[in-house]
Amino acid sequence: MECLFCKIIKGEIPSYKIYEDEFTYAFLDISNDCNGHILVIPKKHYENIFDCDVETLNKIFITVQKISNHLIDNCGFKGVNIINANGSCAEQTVFHFHVHILPRNDEDGEKVFPILKKNTLSMEEIYNRLKIN
């Protein structure tokens, strides 16, 4: 079964297209959770960042930057949150790589940055486990 976002790209499911180029497609998220919530996706199907090639990642983030600048320069927003989830354990629900852009203003009252539990390991243990040699 083809994924939801692939169907949107093909025009089989309608969307509120914000931007499109040869490699990327950006549209309003229909979750209706925040004014201007935009999804940026590659036109080629990749499940998540783990199988996405570097060239596609570059193109995605060029589009993310272009749209973010447009939101600030032309639409009256003052900032953006850029969010991405990879894998079901990270709360990815649509398995086509995508980046969320949430336009922000000082007075919007939104709290979208996650509140995380405190470390269960020391910073030294975490550092030794995660550093790239």
Residues tagged active-site? 98
E strands in 16-98:
17-20, 24-28, 38-42, 79-83
- The rounded Cα 74 to chain-centroid distance in angstroms is 21
